[in-house]
């Protein structure tokens, strides 16, 4: 079933692969137990039939993801791995940013987990930087979750004292709810997008620690007021740090590098 | 549109919780959805409707309690209700705040019918 709209497209989970497809693991879709049982008396809705029992659960719906995210977090902390979750709408420049950022960390082992619905394209681009990279294809899924990261990290087996960048599926809505176990969440906006983005997608800005404003080389050509954008973002999350960059031209990348290493 | 993931989680949690019991069906599920939780309720309903047939929740009624959003102003300590994260303190117009409620998304309880 389609993860986004519920249409039936055949059962599919997510897959993990290296850029050259050398290891490709496909996981099954989630475990909802379906069974046939007789529907003889199920027009009754349990009104006073004497068998009703209330079971208190008081369980967060995202319990499983949150617990697994904390396990990921514990693993990263134990091995002193700084893990970053990069989130944004599609086309803001996440992959290019990583392509330009990774070579700056040539003294530190760097790993990347790429997330997209389909293709190995991004992983293949990152592969050229020399970082060890693995691609998660979510199929119809719209976000990465803690389980996917758990599986990918087991495959990557990162060294201690390293950097791990997780490039989430391009989507400003769904990834906001899913803790991956990261140290920091970095929300990336480009100046071609509109200064009211934080107001329109508050959950993503609220759950991030750093906001990267990318493509600042295009500021002369677009109607983007950086101060209005920052003010909107601060209304949602007053703890947000900001870095203004042009990944392609290099502006601001020193400051970004320092923030990551801090 | 991640509500399918959320609905699947709800069903799995409930299935797990009734595993040891000999039950015929779950008749009611009480969910708590905070106003600031980021959950789109109608999408969740659609997801649940399409996922529950054939499961022990096939005839369950889903009841929702909505927890209002509440923040505490960092500047003047006023507590105020808010429906959107960008809202500012009504007293001092400060935007620095701590969200104290409204982000909940929980399964509070279920009602089951035993065999």
**What is the value of ipTM here, to two decimals?**
0.89
Distance CA A249, CA A181 (A): 31
Distance CA A145, CA A85 (A): 11
| Record: contact B10-A61, CB cut-off 8 A | yes
What is chain A's mean pLDDT, rounded? Answer: 88
Are the CB atoms for A56 and B30 separated by under 8 Å? no
What residues of chain A lie within 8 A of the CB of B5, using their CB? 3, 30, 141, 143, 145
Q: What is the strand order of the sheet B105-114 is part of?
A: A52-60, B105-114, B23-34, B61-67
- pLDDT tens, position by position, B14-39: 999 988 777 779 999 999 999 999 89
Quote the pLDDT of residue A27. Answer: 81
Using the structure block, give the residue that is written with the tokens 């996981």.
Answer: A27
Partner residue facing B55 (CB), from A34, A64, A202: A34
pTM (2 d.p.): 0.87
Angle at B78 between CA B77 and CA B80, to 5 degrees: 135
Asked if B8 has any chain A CB less than 8 Å from its own CB, the reply is: yes
Length of chain A counted residue by residue: 262
Please compute the mean of the pLDDT values over residues A134-159 and round it to a whole number. Answer: 93
What residues of chain A lie within 8 A of the CB of B13, using their CB? 57, 59, 61, 63-64
Asked if B9 has any chain A CB less than 8 Å from its own CB, the reply is: yes
Partner residue facing B106 (CB), from A31, A32, A61: A61
- pLDDT tens, position by position, B75-106: 999 999 999 999 999 999 999 999 999 999 99
CB contact set of A61 (below 8 Å; sequence gap of 6+)? B6, B9, B10, B13, B31, B105, B106, B107
Quote the pLDDT of residue A39. Answer: 39
**E-assigned strand segments in A36-88:** 52-60, 82-88
Q: Which of residues 54-113 of B touch A (CB under 8 A)?
A: 54-56, 58-59, 61, 74, 84-86, 88, 95-97, 104-113
Per DSSP, the residues of A164-224 read EEEE--S-SSGGGG-----SEEEEEEETTS-TTHHHHSHHHHHT-SEEEEE-GGGGGGS--
Task: Give the residues across from B106 on adjacent strands.
Answer: A60, B32
Distance CA B9, CA A136 (A): 21
For residue A118, what is the DSSP state?
Answer: S
Distance CA B70, CA B34 (A): 10
What residues of chain B lie within 8 A of the CB of A54, using their CB? 109-111
- pLDDT tens, position by position, A28-76: 765 566 554 433 444 444 444 446 889 999 999 999 999 999 999 999 9
């Amino acid at each position: 079933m389609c993860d986004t709209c519920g249409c039936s497209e055949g059962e599919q989970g997510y897959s993990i692969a290296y850029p050259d497809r050398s290891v490709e693991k496909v996981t099954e879709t989630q475990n909802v137990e379906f069974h046939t049982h007789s529907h003889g008396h199920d027009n009754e809705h349990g009104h006073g039939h004497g068998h009703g029992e209330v079971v208190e659960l008081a369980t967060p719906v995202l319990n499983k993801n949150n617990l697994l995210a904390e396990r990921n977090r514990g693993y990263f902390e134990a091995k002193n791995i700084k893990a970053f979750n990069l989130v944004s709408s599609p086309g803001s420049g996440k992959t290019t940013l990583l392509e330009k950022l990774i070579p700056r960390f040539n003294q530190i082992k760097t790993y990347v987990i790429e997330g997209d619905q389909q293709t190995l394209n991004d992983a293949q681009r990152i592969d050229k930087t020399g970082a060890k990279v693995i691609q998660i294809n979510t199929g119809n899924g719209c976000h990465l979750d803690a389980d996917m990261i758990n599986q990918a990290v087991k495959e990557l087996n990162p060294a201690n004292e390293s950097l791990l960048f997780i490039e989430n599926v391009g989507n400003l809505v769904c990834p906001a709810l899913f803790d991956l176990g990261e140290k920091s969440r970095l929300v990336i906006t480009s100046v071609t997008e509109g200064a009211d983005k934080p107001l329109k997608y508050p959950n993503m800005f609220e759950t991030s620690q750093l906001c990267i404003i990318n493509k600042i080389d295009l500021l002369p050509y677009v109607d983007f007021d950086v101060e209005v954008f920052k003010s909107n973002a601060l209304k949602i999350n007053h703890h947000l740090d900001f870095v203004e960059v042009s990944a392609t031209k290099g502006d601001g990348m020193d400051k970004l590098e320092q923030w990551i290493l801090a | 549109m991640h509500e399918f993931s959320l609905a699947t989680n709800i069903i799995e949690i409930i299935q797990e919780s009734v595993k040891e019991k000999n039950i015929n069906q779950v008749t009611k599920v009480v969910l708590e959805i905070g106003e600031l939780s980021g959950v789109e309720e109608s999408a969740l309903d659609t997801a649940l409707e399409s996922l529950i047939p054939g499961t022990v929740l096939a005839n369950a009624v889903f009841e929702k309690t909505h927890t209002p959003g509440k923040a505490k102003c960092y500047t003047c300590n006023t507590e105020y209700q808010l429906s959107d994260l960008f809202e500012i303190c009504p007293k001092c117009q400060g935007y620095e705040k701590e969200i104290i409620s409204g982000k909940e998304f929980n399964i509070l309880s279920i009602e089951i019918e035993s065999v």
